[in-house]
Structure 1
């Protein structure tokens, strides 16, 4: 049993590395050449410079990342990746591109704006729709078929949804644009002359059925802004005691129905279910073109039920953190105070901070205290220190960055937090896992742009073995997983320079179930508690013989790989060899036992089989309906050997291991990587003694 490392990167490649660092058969796979997508992108490919080998074979970068899921719900996981040019690719566990892919955003939504001269946007700072994507795909069952649809945001202002066969989900794509009712001519509060329309959707959606409708709702932050802001200079004056009397900026968080435009009354969540989009107010600005992609919008929400129903938690740029109810009303504004020892001044470099604001990065949830209720963690910047460093004349301060954790029930900052860190995270979120091994809960782990990776325990104390230093920018999140399923956790993170670092860390693998991957899980749902990890495949199915009634025995897998207890076994037989695809047409056997805890020995009598040659195989399911990969196949009878009375051979199918592990994101330039299992089990065990480069 192993998990492989799936690594999309800015070269347009997807690698799949086994735990020993070797490539899985069938990988790497690749996106299309840029020249075949657009001969003039990024510039004239006929130019002499592009005839060199280094520049000629330029592929569509995978800037958003990847997801892994059992798209067809048949026990075989697929790898889904989105590219800089707005394409969606899907490969199976053998590296084969699935029929119907790649798919891409509709050119009718952006191509008219490529004319020369460029059409002007309606208001200052507004932008035109464009081709592109910079967010990972999200997998969810929009239609209730049991299969996973693929949801992608794009720079043209639309949210796209594709079925596993590549066809468009009915009712999609959905355009994200502020309704007319929000503007002053219709009685709203937004002045049309100052409204900033930036259609690009950079962040991934969040999917969760917070309204309990039987299908997930889709939540997406827009990059629109009211156009009002209190400048950083005015904010600096306010900190000095002068009231600038400025109006706060606003951006919006949208909630969509699963059937999109086909929903009666429109795609946006509306009465009686609620009122969306939600206006999210910032303390300073919500749109800053000087740091495009960073100083804009509100973070993709994290969803969890903290005891009084689902809540969506988001933080707008230069604002506080909000907890939002399913109907769109504001539940809480989290405490912005900065009162820990780390908030104190350090002259002449830092002024000290009394409050913090969201600026870069995203949030994450994690059960730090192991109580069953998660805490919310998000990177913030110090209010006074960043104001002094940018806007107050005569000062040369360093803006201070903090890792901050709150109790989401009360909105209060946890004791011992915030913790001072060395730099800004950008397109990442903290992940949570036990990397301390002290039996004291989980740690919040996040890297930053000064090459350090911190792991803070629930008390705010740094975990043993941290911080870690890469000498390179961790522009994205890492992952924690158990690649050999032997209880030894690894923390793996890629860097913007294209290296992948792999450390063994202490900790209980059973506690790696909180927020182990960017956007929580391998589907990138952003929803706490979603189970996307299936049982490990049975690899030692055997027929020992010697009993009056033939039977098979095996070692029980767990609910999540080899941890916990699975829900049920599906054992089948056939007179012809069973493969991953033919398993579903084989005959089911009754009498399978209830699964025991992982690593227990179980057995089952074989009643009702017939024929001179009988093949037996099984799959395991967990409570969430996740299906394991196919077991090894046992053959009883002749099996090509005369006189064989019991087991004659045990053959391993092509895919006899779990595809889909503890996902990780990040990668070269703007990619994301995942831990999944796509290769035949191997039992060589090696440690990577140095970072591996892509």
Structure 2
């Protein structure tokens, strides 16, 4: 391909495809690592000399759906001929039967050897113009073009598979192929549960993914995908790349049962369920590879669903300068990509892990195509091994120099680059020569399992499988070494290596491969450069390495697993309660609540998991024991629920092969239950003196149950269905639907809020929903009069979902609490702001309408991601900052200064902050002003780099009197402006970036002396518990991160004794504090996304300072600091005074208690630097292809 004469007419020698270097304009020499590799890209061009892909190889693109009109993809969609039988087959221009042989008989009208939408082009039913009915040339359907052809049902000016789906009589309600999916003509929409995977919001991510792997070549348009000869199946699982793992799981099952060879998923699911993991295992067992995104935050946190067994995880490496021709390396770490011990491969690209997923899936398509050409049936593990064992090792010597310009790498595996850069040509050569690597699979321990030696009963088994059925014989060894990226010399055998094993023998399986005693493991090693806070100090790497012996030589295979060991050698965690950590098997995004459920006078642990189970654990016996009647189970998910009467419009997939087989060789449908990702609410709803529990699920069900786990009468309820808006404008528009102009969906992320809206002494149940409404239900399940209330800002043309949990607080003094909530609506150019509403507690029945005067207000909030970071996603907090008895509303957006506004915020001018703000203070000139000090004004004793700006990001605010001066303070977490810069991508190493927790004084508006507090990773979607866990009378901020630790730091920046706590997981929920074991002391309980529940003793007292006990303040989830808790109450006798600054200047938080302090103002005011920082953040992120629409609408 170095010769342009060999190029396709749409190929421009992409730097990441080629097997040589592009013409360079710089005199700076290439790095030695690049010179040794000899190419800028993945040698896809050489791979094409073996195959450009097979029509029989299908890639399932699981994403946001497809924009049907894309010219590079319209002929690449795999049409299901088994659903297009009889009269639904294409016809010749004369209306006759088409030609073709074999499976194509009657389908291949144009004689190109494939069945595509092009075969319908001359069909008289589809050809010919419909006069007076123009098609539209834009995705928003505002720009009319020429009159449409008859077959252009969706009126996008091109004949596409969506037209075949919509053509009258083609989707006839008959499952012609009896595969369990009626009328699956061209993929499926598991987000809306219908047969049209159209990207109705025009987000474009799924379309870009399909282009990366499967775009057509030699058509004079765009660029060819890596496997231009492959076909793809569009499977929609969300309106972006963020969604529910259960929808992903359904799509994986469909792909596996319907002939896909590759699952391409550039997703970040909000959960990881038993069902999603089972679906991945099912695909693996059927020889289908799952290519998974590492995600894009330059972080080590474990992206879901990729952090599971049997996935090939990928991210990007790139050139280091602005253009390929001016660069001196092509294996620079792409700053927007994630890293970690579970990374498999680096893929050449500039658009983060999404592009990596698409390109790698295309390479996988080439692998299966080449195997088909050679008459081989490859297993998924063999494909994974072909990737890893044929990679270009990234070993940059300059990365190991002092003050390196490049991220660390060494020979072999490393956490920033995995096994290296994919080499497609070498993979083709291996298949061509028959040198297939051995299969090496490890399934246990789990990825990142936290192993506590004093909590295990004996050795830990290493479970997995090794085989080499194609070879003559094989050897293998099982080894371990400390750290996440050990040097080769550091590995030690766990068991004597085995050699010359007959090829017919499969090792492992039900029998263990080896075992290790965690009490004897010494994890000590030199701290790796990417773990400055000790994130990997307790990590060890376990690897199984095999060698297959062929007549032509040896071929290697390898599988790894990273776990963390806590033992006497590195320091036991003496504060863990007996029986913890507990592995619940599914991710724990829903925050823990602590309440006496069983009536024994002791708080129980109430925790939902993403597999639809609500657990209630009692510690009365001294160890966690499930209370009778629990776990409670949510309904089975749409499509897998046998009770069709509850959702008659949702099809059933239970006739599909995987579900029919069940647990024996398929998928147990009982695993597929509605995910719970929000905290439960607990309170006495019916006045019987006993607690009820209210639960919401992501798909939009509300469950109300008593203390024995039984449903209350009238429950559960389901939120209304939200279909796609009809493309045919002649059809009636539903009351709520989703398209480019309506960001609605069915479901909720809201924690239920219990609040008395009728003054009868009994609370109603309030939730926000993805259809843009606030709902209020009575205890009997009926809707409260005046509800639902739609949240629609007049400043936004596009109504949208609500992610925030409402805050309940009386703002107008009528004794009925108002409901304060943000919305995902985007305001202003580029969606740089979002609205916050204050809804009268009487809802639509309020005399002046549902909104209080001067509400909604708009607040700067940069759109960073869809769903979780657009508009105002954060749940707001209420607290009285000026002592007048009326709460102020604390509002947090993304990348902008937080504000606290009065009940009447006053008239807002443009995007200026509302005039009625607090706290009242004087600036550095002595002038009176209002609001919190600038985000660049750090406390005098912070350990953060002060030449930076703190930006609230991805989290939610809490309030609490941190300095015990009688006024609650604001706690907000996020990152630094330098961190935001690193998220913009690029090949230059970020010199500094910080994740931070800011604490602003509610009295002075200044950051407390120890703030912002440095933490090691993001604090996604959580707010912060606030309680004294050090025993000194002064509260700590208790919060977990994606980087393995749970912190408890006071206003001076010092950690409580025994903190930070290590989890080896991603904490994305709010910790709960309370006495669960009856010792009058506080415990801290929190879960991780890996499914582990932790509980620790602390030095705090149950009658001490408890300011914010759990998610959204209290067990009713009101978010209202004025609501009295049923624990705590203690106050320090004097305000906190910070001692002289000490500790590790590097920013690592020191263990060691609280201190007392007198808060002082920061040294400088900083004027409008906060807003300028938000603008800079928006500019930095505007070009990120991964987290934006990847094709033009």
Partner of 2:769: 154
2:803 is aligned with 1:202: yes
Alignment partner for residue 669 of structure 2, among 56, 67, 71?
A: 56
Partner of 1:585: none
1:377-416 residue pairs with structure 2 within 5 A?
Answer: 377-390=971-984, 394-397=988-991, 399-416=993-1010
Alignment partner for residue 21 of structure 1, among 620, 624, 632?
A: 624
Contact 2:880-2:968 at 8 Å conserved across structures:
no
1:8-407 residue pairs with structure 2 within 5 A?
Answer: 8-19=608-619, 20-34=623-637, 35=641, 36=643, 44-51=653-660, 52-53=662-663, 54-57=667-670, 58-107=672-721, 110-111=722-723, 113=725, 126-179=741-794, 182=795, 195=796, 197-229=798-830, 249-269=832-852, 274-282=853-861, 285=862, 287-288=863-864, 290-306=865-881, 307-308=883-884, 309-329=886-906, 330=914, 331-332=917-918, 333-335=931-933, 336-340=935-939, 353-390=947-984, 394-397=988-991, 399-407=993-1001
| 1:81–1:115 Cα change, 3 Å | farther
**Structure 1 range deviating more: 38-47 or 66-75:** 38-47
Shift of 1:74: 3.0
Shift of 1:317: 0.9
| 1:446–1:428 Cα change, 3 Å | same
2:1036 is aligned with 1:438: no
| 1:392–1:227 Cα change, 3 Å | farther
Cα distance in 1 for residues equivalent to 2:1014 and 2:1062: 16
Alignment partner for residue 1049 of structure 2, among 456, 469, 491?
A: 456
Please give the secondary structure, in 1, of the residue aligned with 2:1084: strand
Shift of 1:343: 6.5
TM-score between the two structures when normalised by the length of structure 2: 0.39
Larger helix percent: 2
| TM-superposition CA deviations, 1:330-371 (whole Å, max 9, x none) | 3044221243565665xxxxxx64321111111111122334
Contact 2:682-2:1115 at 8 Å conserved across structures:
yes
Cα distance in 2 for residues equivalent to 1:15 and 1:391: 41
Shift of 1:458: 2.2
Shift of 1:379: 0.2
Contact 1:429-1:477 at 8 Å conserved across structures:
yes
Please give the secondary structure, in 2, of the residue aligned with 1:167: coil
Shift of 1:29: 1.3
| 1:116–1:46 Cα change, 3 Å | farther
Shift of 1:423: 0.6
Contact 1:78-1:92 at 8 Å conserved across structures:
yes
Please give the secondary structure, in 1, of the residue aligned with 2:1086: strand
Cα distance in 2 for residues equivalent to 1:368 and 1:97: 40
Shift of 1:268: 1.1
Q: Which runs of 5+ in 1 are unaligned?
A: 183-194, 230-247, 346-351, 534-559, 565-694
Partner of 2:344: none
Cα distance in 2 for residues equivalent to 1:502 and 1:520: 19
Cα distance in 1 for residues equivalent to 2:737 and 2:759: 40
Contact 2:738-2:745 at 8 Å conserved across structures:
no
Cα distance in 1 for residues equivalent to 2:1117 and 2:687: 17
Please give the secondary structure, in 2, of the residue aligned with 1:506: strand
Please give the secondary structure, in 1, of the residue aligned with 2:890: strand
| 1:532–1:420 Cα change, 3 Å | closer
Please give the secondary structure, in 1, of the residue aligned with 2:872: coil
| TM-superposition CA deviations, 1:519-557 (whole Å, max 9, x none) | 000000000031353xxxxxxxxxxxxxxxxxxxxxxxx
Cα distance in 2 for residues equivalent to 1:334 and 1:399: 23
Shift of 1:410: 2.9
| 1:459–1:95 Cα change, 3 Å | same
Contact 1:343-1:353 at 8 Å conserved across structures:
no
Contact 1:343-1:354 at 8 Å conserved across structures:
no
Cα distance in 1 for residues equivalent to 2:726 and 2:609: 27
Cα distance in 2 for residues equivalent to 1:116 and 1:430: 47
| TM-superposition CA deviations, 1:557-616 (whole Å, max 9, x none) | xxx49x89xxxxxxxxxxxxxxxxxxxxxxxxxxxxxxxxxxxxxxxxxxxxxxxxxxxx
Shift of 1:409: 2.8
Cα distance in 2 for residues equivalent to 1:128 and 1:326: 29
Cα distance in 1 for residues equivalent to 2:968 and 2:1086: 23
Cα root mean square deviation, aligned:
2.8
Shift of 1:295: 4.7
| TM-superposition CA deviations, 1:119-140 (whole Å, max 9, x none) | 9999996544211111210000
1:469-484 residue pairs with structure 2 within 5 A?
Answer: 469-484=1062-1077
Contact 1:255-1:276 at 8 Å conserved across structures:
yes
Cα distance in 2 for residues equivalent to 1:42 and 1:383: 47
Please give the secondary structure, in 2, of the residue aligned with 1:511: coil
| 1:21–1:325 Cα change, 3 Å | same
Cα distance in 1 for residues equivalent to 2:1094 and 2:959: 24
Cα distance in 1 for residues equivalent to 2:932 and 2:1084: 30
Cα distance in 1 for residues equivalent to 2:961 and 2:1094: 25
- Of structures 1 and 2, the larger Rg is shown by 2
1:537-686 residue pairs with structure 2 within 5 A?
Answer: 560=1127
Shift of 1:399: 3.6
Shift of 1:395: 4.8
Partner of 1:652: none
Contact 2:1010-2:1052 at 8 Å conserved across structures:
yes
Please give the secondary structure, in 2, of the residue aligned with 1:455: strand
Please give the secondary structure, in 2, of the residue aligned with 1:510: coil
Contact 1:353-1:383 at 8 Å conserved across structures:
no
| 1:152–1:423 Cα change, 3 Å | same
Shift of 1:384: 3.2
Shift of 1:496: 1.1
Q: Which runs of 5+ in 2 are unaligned?
A: 1-600, 907-913, 919-930, 1131-1193
Partner of 2:405: none
Cα distance in 1 for residues equivalent to 2:1052 and 2:651: 49
Contact 2:942-2:1009 at 8 Å conserved across structures:
no
